Amino acid sequence: MSEYRTHTCNELRLEDVGKEVKLSGFVKTIRDLGGCVFIDLRDHYGVTQLTTENPELLEQIKKINVEASITVEGTVVKRPEENINDKLDTGLVEIDIKTITIQNNVLLPMPFEVEKSHEVKEDLRLQYRFLDLRNEEIHQKIVFRSKVLKCLRDKMDEMGFIEVQTPILTSSSPEGARDYLIPSRLHPGEFYALPQAPQQFKQLLMISGFDKYYQIAPCFRDEDPRADRSPGEFYQLDFEMSFASQEDVLAVLKEVTTHVFKTYGHGQITEDSFEKIPYRVSMDKYGTDKPDLRNPLELIDVSDIFDKSEFMAFKDKTVKAIAIDSSSVTRRFFDEMVDYAKAEVGMKGLAWIKINEDGTLVGPVAKYLNEELQKELLEKTQAKENYGIFFVADRYLRACKDAGAIRNELGRRLGLIDENLYKFCFIVDFPFYEETDDGKIDFGHNPFSMPQGGLEALNNSNPFDILAYQFDMVGNGYELASGAVRNHDTEIMTKAFEIAGYSEETVQNKFGALYNAFKYGAPPHAGAAPGIDRMIMLLLGETNIREVIAFPKNSKARDLLMQAPNYVTEEQLRDVHIKIDVKEK
């Protein structure tokens, strides 16, 4: 018998009545009824009710605070009919206490009630995360996370992938985000970097002759926090395959995702899931490369109509229209959407038209459209009586993004999104390059990807016209995975980086291992990496990624529990040959 328990707090049932048992856990509640005390004892597994009328034990219990850790010995008894609790697995029995041992009492004031921790400010929860995690609802999210990880591992093993751990201390590389740098004590002036992803290592594994690799990989990126992105570090199901095409990787993503979401999801996966949508089509129709396909609204390009109109503000611009059935909304709805566009999207305004029951058009834009253009607009948008049309006009990309934000908000406000569905898709054909704010050429997605058309495209095409064998998997408006067919040819690699402003010498210096390995019979290979934190967030129906991570950083990228980042001593800095040049706050 264990020193601390014979059973967990979720094991005992009617068939255990009469047994002498020992339980250990945390005191969830104490109810003193005067001459009789009830204690709810909680451990990792569940809750069991304890009770006693023994005067000596009652005096001892008075010294125990809620959330203290205790061990009790006693007899399992059947609860009186009026005390049965159908909400507990152990609700038919209770323990008649014989002895209580206080393992550790609560010696400081509680910062919040554990059972109501989700009601307090998030920073306070994170500062006392060890208490927050005792909350049964939050505790179960981490248990759920463990089950999903096992499910992923089992599925990858079943599909013939082998798990390999890759280094955490590595070299800095330009992969789209800032690196976390680590100064070297043994090599003054030189730095390691935490990996943004195991990108180079997994490609090297393919060159090493491993056919299918995966790992639950920690990734580190010095990025600004968002509700759906964990700052600093996150985990992904990283995998790579030799002699594989884009279609092979998409098939793996579909199989793994379907398996996990059917096993642990709260909604149905639609039959039309996992369609392939080119990036440009997604931007045109949804205003984003992360479309929520549960929302039936689409963007309609009406630029040509307004180029023929008298509305000068919309001439020579991309104009996106969104038509809605507005029969159930008031005029105030339109005004509130204008306010939302200004306050939340950062737009100067939001134009709209409403179609009356008699077919006439009203609204700020209507007077600028003659009868012929009005008819053309209704035909193109499929709008009819009691419909409304919102308009966004700007440069192409800005117009798409702003209209996409309005589309999302309209879907929410009009109740068009079925929360019981999962709709996935693959966004494909991303631009290989993009233009930076200062007019330079940079990689659009992943510098290690294969350009469509290979070396010929790099040599003869406008860089901004080149597409990449890159793809994202999107679910319900969240990017869940990114992947690509990898560049495995040194000539193509050198040319691709040259166009982005990197010399061959820089490529050899930054990516020397890959550059050299490509010269030793590198196989064609491809892979992807679903984000685990975001996947679990979606499985649980959460909107804040910190809810599914055991010890997350807060919205300002601070670890309030461990007080990180923090200052270090001068001696520590001297060890790694660092001097700090920061103005005092």
Tell me the CATH number of domain 14-104, given options 3.40.50.300, 2.60.120.260, 3.30.1490.480, 2.40.50.140: 2.40.50.140
Sheet holding 387-394, edge to edge: 300-301, 318-325, 387-394, 351-355, 361-362
Band of the pLDDT at 585, cuts 50, 70, 90?
Answer: low
Q: Are the C-beta atoms of residues 382 and 394 closer than 8 Å to each other?
A: no
State the pairing for strand pair 212-221/162-163. parallel
Dist CA 83 CA 36 (whole Å): 14
Average pLDDT over the chain reads 94
- For residue 328, the Cα-to-chain-centroid distance in whole angstroms is 34
Please write the tens of the pLDDT for every residue from 571-580.
999 999 998 8
Q: Per-domain residue ranges for the chain? A: 14-104, 139-275+425-549, 295-417
* Percentage with pLDDT > 90 across the chain: 86
- For 25-73, write each residue's pLDDT tens digit: 999 999 999 899 999 999 999 999 999 999 999 999 999 999 999 999 9
> What's the whole-number mean pLDDT along residues 310-318?
92
C-alpha to C-alpha distance for 256 and 61, rounded to whole angstroms: 51
Predicted confidence band of residue 245 (pLDDT cuts 50, 70, 90): very high
Q: Where are the alpha helices (DSSP H) in 105-243?
A: 122-127, 129-132, 136-158, 199-207
As a whole number of angstroms, the distance between CA 388 and CA 322 comes to: 8
Residue 18 has pLDDT above 90, yes or no: yes
pLDDT band, very low/low/confident/very high, at 232 (cuts 50, 70, 90): confident
Mean pLDDT confidence for 298-307: 96
> Average pLDDT of 297-316?
94
Cβ-Cβ contacts under 8 Å for 374 (sequence gap 6 or more): 361, 366
Res 441: pLDDT: 93
Which pLDDT does position 52 carry in this prediction?
A: 97
What interhelical angle do 532-539 and 136-158 show, nearest 10?
Answer: 120
Identity (one letter) of the amino acid at 88? Answer: L
179 half-sphere exposure, CB direction, 13 A CA radius: 17
Confidence of residue 272 (pLDDT cuts 50, 70, 90): confident
What's the pLDDT at 508? Answer: 85
Taking the CA atoms of the chain, what radius of gyration do you get in angstroms? 30
- At the fourth CATH level, the homologous superfamily of domain 139-275+425-549 is Bira Bifunctional Protein; Domain 2 (3.30.930.10)
Per-residue pLDDT band at 176 (split at 50, 70, 90): low
* Residue 510 pLDDT grade (very low, low, confident, very high; cuts 50, 70, 90): confident
Question: What is the number of other CB atoms lying within 10 angstroms of the CB of residue 32?
Answer: 12
Instruction: Report whether 516 contacts 241 (CB < 8 A).
Output: no
Average pLDDT in the 409-435 region? 96
CATH number assigned to the domain covering 295-417 = 3.30.1360.30
CA–CA separation, 133 and 130 (whole Å): 5
Q: At 512, is the pLDDT very low, low, confident or very high (cuts 50, 70, 90)?
A: confident
**Dihedrals φ, ψ of 30, to 5°?**
-130, 125
Q: Using one digit for the tens of pLDDT, what is the confidence trace for 322-362?
A: 999 999 999 999 999 999 999 999 999 999 999 999 989 99
